Amino acid sequence: MTASGTAGLEAAVVNTVSPGEKVLVLVTGAFGERFAKICDNHKLNVIRHDVEWGKAVSPDIVRKYAEKHPNIKAVFATFCETSTGVLNPIQDLAEAVHTHTDGLFIVDGVSAIGGADVKMDDWGIDVLLTGSQKAMMLPPGLCFIAVSPTAWNVIEKNSARPFYLDLVKYRDKLADDSTPFTPGLSLLMGLEQVLNRINNEGLEQVFNRHLLMKEMTRAAFRAMDIPLLASDEDASPTVTAVQPKNFDPDAMRKLLKAEFGLDLAGGQQHMKGDIFRIGHMGYCSPANVLQTISLIEIGVQKISGETETATGTKAAQKTYLEWM
């Protein structure tokens, strides 16, 4: 679809469930919250489970809600919670959803797909969506949605599907290699190129490279003694959130932007001024990670005067050299 990622979230909601129906939304940060807001907006009966920002959701939770609420039509989750750098355990969540409910399992994969391994069919994801501008390496403007046979059955029976976001229209037109509305054609041409690029590198190696970049980044901050927001177990291969105690992350971001043109993301909502985030997805390479760490060390040195430079770079280099 020619639209940003959020349209994918909205399409996933409004095609599959109808006003009044009960849904469970697992909220681990700003993007889980967006799913909850879309569900509220669609007048669903929303059961919302909030997890402390920086932590992954536990699959056990699904059973607890399912016991209390027999009629859950869909469970919504975020694969990579971009606001915190957490990768939720989607495979285990899918199993819990299908064991304890008859509902669909719907996943926002916007900052994960293209960087984190996913087995939609094997794991039992019913709707999986992503956007063009994160790990898919394109400018913004496209979103992609994959739908399971079970979910298609539900969607086809929905008599109040939206107009532009009607997934059945897109599926039917796809059979003629076409789209129901004017496509973002230049982006589709770019898409062919990035898919070739992913193919040439090899999907397994793409995922391996993202895991390596995660480990390099985390090793660097551990060595610098600057706290990471997410635990090793919960950490995403595509984005790392850092929660410094001894300096203002926004002051450092500002300095790095001004001196080097390096863009680091800040915290969202209540984490504003508390964390900074490093995106290491898509076009990023281990070389970019080394450069970023090295620049951050200059920033930290200038802002706090505390860390000896090259400590983090050295740890990241070591991780790189030891990576199999």
Please report, as residue ranges, which positions from 62 to 81 form the binding site for ligand PLP (by CB under 6 A). Answer: 78, 80
Binding-residue total with ligand PLP (CB under 6 A) = 13
State the minimum distance, in angstroms, from the CB of residue 246 to ligand PLP: 29
Query: To which H or E segment does residue 322 belong?
Result: helix 311-322
Please report, as residue ranges, which positions from 117 to 146 form the binding site for ligand PLP (by CB under 6 A). Answer: 131, 134, 140
User: Contact between 170 and ligand PLP (CB under 6 A)?
Assistant: no
Query: To which H or E segment does residue 81 belong?
Result: strand 80-81
Please report, as residue ranges, which positions from 5 to 64 form the binding site for ligand PLP (by CB under 6 A). Answer: 5-6, 31
**Edge-to-edge order in the sheet of strand 22-27:** 45-50, 22-27, 72-78, 104-108, 127-131, 143-147
State the minimum distance, in angstroms, from the CB of residue 102 to ligand PLP: 26
User: Contact between 179 and ligand PLP (CB under 6 A)?
Assistant: no
Inter-CA distances, 297 with 219, 223, 261, 290, 291, Å: 13, 11, 15, 11, 10
State the minimum distance, in angstroms, from the CB of residue 164 to ligand PLP: 15
Query: To which H or E segment does residue 100 belong?
Result: helix 90-100
Tokens of 147: 């739908």
Query: Tell me, what amino acid is at 169?
Result: K
Tokens of 253: 């971001």
CB 26 within 8 A of CB 51: yes
User: Contact between 111 and ligand PLP (CB under 6 A)?
Assistant: yes
Q: Which of 1, 107, 110, 303 binds ligand PLP (CB under 6 A)?
A: 110
Query: Tell me, what amino acid is at 54?
Result: G
Please say which residue, 5 or 59, places its beta carbon nearer to ligand PLP.
5
Q: Where do contacts with ligand PLP occur on this chain (CB under 6 A)?
A: 4-6, 31, 78, 80, 82, 108, 110-111, 131, 134, 140
